[in-house]
């Protein structure tokens, strides 16, 4: 960095600090205190952002991870559960953390995504509570549920939690930080005060799930769980319905000798063509490292997407040692790459968000490990196409867990693409009188104004395209096998 550039950097940093101090003065009491704490984390991130130039990885240093650093799940589960450690004892060393900061806006819903109904009127949160309650009852254990909320989801989530008062699950919550969006041109905050309404409604953002380490630590909950004898947390996205507590992985962790104790496990699974953008594990400077597509130099993006070179991707199901988080947090030694996320606000203003990813911290932990798990542990619901799969007879529901029906011949899920008429959950629900039988389906594409009657069966490859202005009603009881339906089809009652 030249002397001039260094001067500019210092000027920008001091302007940012002055603006943040000004913002704190617009709040009162606790709000101002929380903002002050959040801004400490933001200042560190902003400082690093101004230092970094060019891609954060040197492509020549990226290697495939050594074989022993990514264990097949089958090898771990084949050991069985150790006789010396009862399941209850193992489970009592665990807390489950769900990342609950997201809104359901991508599916046309207001409020926290975790409150969307996904199966038999059960929400993501209902299913999570049922899973953990089942564990606690079955093994007479005490596995608590911890929700990392954001300022977007905290209030609505806390209201709902009252309904679980009599369930056998202790539920804790903590809030991730609230950071200011930065004007892309001036590199200063767009907020004028600490408020979340009016012109400030779009001025703030939760800074990605990498914020879990600092906010968990700052909330006091980390120390509280360690004091209760908890050793590991199992972290996952609340919308991943495959992310359930696995006793084989837990036992593998706690049965290691103390000097070789694994502090971080990332569950990875085999890439398919649909997962080419997912982060992958690599060996870099002698450490396991998560490589995200945003870090890849443009010339190597195709190589990164290759299913042959990088065969696995990160499911974001992570098992992390609590004492290790405390040690690294106290030493300020957690190193996560900055993700610069550009956004355009409703008024057309271009802003940037500085974020980090929870899995990127893998390189800071000792004896980190990847475990290549079955695809069934990665069942995220990001769109209504995913929702159709989990609501269908492909899965059965037992104690909050979804398992694929034994009647399906293939273990893989069908490829489903629903068009824009199905994007919002309420529109999607209106278009299905009942969810079709999909046990023998391989591929479904639906586009345009299409509705499905009751008890429709879909098999093989089915493509239904209603042209603009046309409508297609699939009649009740219809069976479509390897069919293309296009144009206009309306069955009238008579």
Check if 298 is active-site.
no
Judge whether 175 and 149 are in contact, CB under 8 Å.
Answer: yes
In the beta sheet, which residues pair with residue 465? 447, 486
Distance CA 292, CA 303 (A): 13
Neighbours of 6 (CB within 10 A): 11
Closest by CA position to 49, among listed 180, 217, 194 = 180
CB atoms within 10 A of CB 113: 24
Q: Which residues have a Cβ under 8 Å from the Cβ of 167 and sit 6 or more positions away? A: 129, 133
Of the chain, the end-to-end C-alpha distance in Å amounts to: 79
**334 token code pair:** 């957690």
Number of H helices, E strands in the chain: 13, 25
Q: Which residues of 350-365 are buried (b: 16+ CB within 10 A; e: fewer)?
A: ebebbbbbbbbbbbbb
Give SS3 for 288. strand
CA dist list (Å): 13 to 42, 190, 217, 296, 455: 11, 15, 26, 27, 62
Calculate the alpha carbon distances from 303 to 5, 170, 276, 299, 340 in Å. Answer: 34, 45, 10, 8, 22
**Binding-site sequence positions:** 113, 176, 208-209, 239, 382
Do the strands 182-183 and 350-355 form a parallel or antiparallel pair, or are they unpaired?
A: antiparallel
Strand ranges, E, within 324-456 = 339-344, 350-355, 369-372, 395-398, 401-404, 415-418, 441-447, 449-452
64 in Cβ contact with 282 (< 8 Å): yes
156 phi/psi in degrees, rounded to 5? -65, -40
Phi/psi at 326 (5° precision) = -60, -45
Identify the CA nearest to 465 among candidates 454, 408, 11, 480.
480
- Cite the annotated binding site for substrate by residue number: 209
Pick the catalytic residue from 326, 382, 424, 483.
Answer: 382
* Unique residue bearing structure tokens 């290759």: 306
Q: State the maximum Cα–Cα separation within the chain, in Å, rounded to a whole number.
A: 83
Binding-site residue ranges for UTP: 113, 176, 208, 239, 382
**Residue 341 near residue 355 (C-beta atoms within 8 A):** yes
Smallest CA-to-CA distance from 163 within 139, 119, 134, 130 is with: 130
Residues with active-site annotation: 382
């Amino acid at each position: 960095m030249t002397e001039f550039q260094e001067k500019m950097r210092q000027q920008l940093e001091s302007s940012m600090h002055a603006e943040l101090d000004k913002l704190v003065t617009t709040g009162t009491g606790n709000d101002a205190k929380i903002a002050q704490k959040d801004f400490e984390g933001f200042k560190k991130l902003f400082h690093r952002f101004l230092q970094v130039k060019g891609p954060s990885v040197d492509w020549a240093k990226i290697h495939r991870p050594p074989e022993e650093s990514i264990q097949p799940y089958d090898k771990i589960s084949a050991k069985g559960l150790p006789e010396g450690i009862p399941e209850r004892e193992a489970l009592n060393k665990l807390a489950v953390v769900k990342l609950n900061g997201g809104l359901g806006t991508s599916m046309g819903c207001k409020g926290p995504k975790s409150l969307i109904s996904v199966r038999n009127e059960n929400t993501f949160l209902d299913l999570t509570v049922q899973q953990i309650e089942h564990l606690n009852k079955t093994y007479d254990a005490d596995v608590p549920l911890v929700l990392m909320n954001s300022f977007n989801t905290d209030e609505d989530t806390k209201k709902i939690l009252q309904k679980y008062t009599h369930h056998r699950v202790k539920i804790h919550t903590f809030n991730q930080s609230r950071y200011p969006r930065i004007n892309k041109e001036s590199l200063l905050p767009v907020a004028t005060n600490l408020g979340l309404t009016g012109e400030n409604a779009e001025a703030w953002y939760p800074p990605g799930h990498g914020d879990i380490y600092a906010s968990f630590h700052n909330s006091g909950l980390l120390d509280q769980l360690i004091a209760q004898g908890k050793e590991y947390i199992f972290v996952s996205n609340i919308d991943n319905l495959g992310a359930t507590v696995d006793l084989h992985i837990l036992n593998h962790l706690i049965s290691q000798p103390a000097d070789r104790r694994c502090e971080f496990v990332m569950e990875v699974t085999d890439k398919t063509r649909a997962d080419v953008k997912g982060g992958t594990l690599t060996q870099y400077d002698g450490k396991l490292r998560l490589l995200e597509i945003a870090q890849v130099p443009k010339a190597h993006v195709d190589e990164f997407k290759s299913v042959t070179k990088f065969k696995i991707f990160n499911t974001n199901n992570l098992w992390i040692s609590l004492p290790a988080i405390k040690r690294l947090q106290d030493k300020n030694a957690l190193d996560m790459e900055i993700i610069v996320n550009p956004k355009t606000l409703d008024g057309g203003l271009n802003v940037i968000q500085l974020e980090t990813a929870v899995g990127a911290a893998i390189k800071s932990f000792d004896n980190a490990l990847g475990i290549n798990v079955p695809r069934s542990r990665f069942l995220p619901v990001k769109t209504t196409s995913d929702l159709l799969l989990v609501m269908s007879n492909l899965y059965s529901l037992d104690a909050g867990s979804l398992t694929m029906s034994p009647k399906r011949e293939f273990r893989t899920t069908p490829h489903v693409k629903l068009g824009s008429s199905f994007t919002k959950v309420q529109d999607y629900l209106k278009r299905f009188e009942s969810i079709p039988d999909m046990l023998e389906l391989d591929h479904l594409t639906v586009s345009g104004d299409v509705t499905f009657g009751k008890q429709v069966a879909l098999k093989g490859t089915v493509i239904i395209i209603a042209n603009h202005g046309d409508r297609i009603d699939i009649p009740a009881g219809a069976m479509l096998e390897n069919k293309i339906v296009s144009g206009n089809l309306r069955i009238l009652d008579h």
